[in-house]
Amino acid sequence: MSKFIHPITWEAAKEVASNLRPEDHREVEEGHGHDPIVHIPSGALIGDSVYFTVPDGRLAGIAGVHSNGQIWMLCTPAIHKYPITFAREAKRFIESRKEELLWNIVDERNAVHLKLLRFLGFKFLRRFKHGPNNLSFIEFARVRSSSSSISRLGSSPKRNASASRK
């Protein structure tokens, strides 16, 4: 896939869990009521998960998709040293997915993840209270675009739209 995206290992998941960005740690602990050190390594082994590195070799985060399209990502402070590289690799991971719908929820306080989700093409659907502390979370989703398959056929969506009106 990429020299910065790797199949998940228990060791990588444990290292990321031990070195989360403070906002990510807060989301897992306060928002979901989980101990990151316990929950992340075991949870990362469920579904299709990967870990990310950055050019200096440090672990930048882990991400995965469950069979129902539920996507998740947690990051370390390493993403701040290489934000463009990390964002491009995250986009590469998202673009490689075959699911029609990717979705989850995000802690409204996690500004970096909100910005990344926008960059990755996710739409924010609704705000609601969640978790043991009744915090504000935002539901997000991304529906796989059919326009990419139209483009591959040599037709633009505009041309198809005008042709269908005739």
Q: How many domains does the chain have?
A: 1
First to last CA, the chain: 43
CB 87 within 8 A of CB 116: yes
Domain assignment of residue 52, given as a range? 5-165
Cα–Cα distance, 39 to 101 (Å, whole number): 25
Residue-level pLDDT, tens digit, the chain, 166 residues: 689 999 999 999 999 999 999 999 999 999 999 999 999 998 888 889 999 999 999 999 999 999 999 999 999 999 999 999 999 999 999 999 999 999 999 999 999 999 999 999 999 999 999 999 999 999 999 998 765 443 334 433 443 444 444 4
- Residues 87, 163: Cα–Cα separation, whole Å: 37
List the CATH number of the domain containing 46: 3.40.630.30
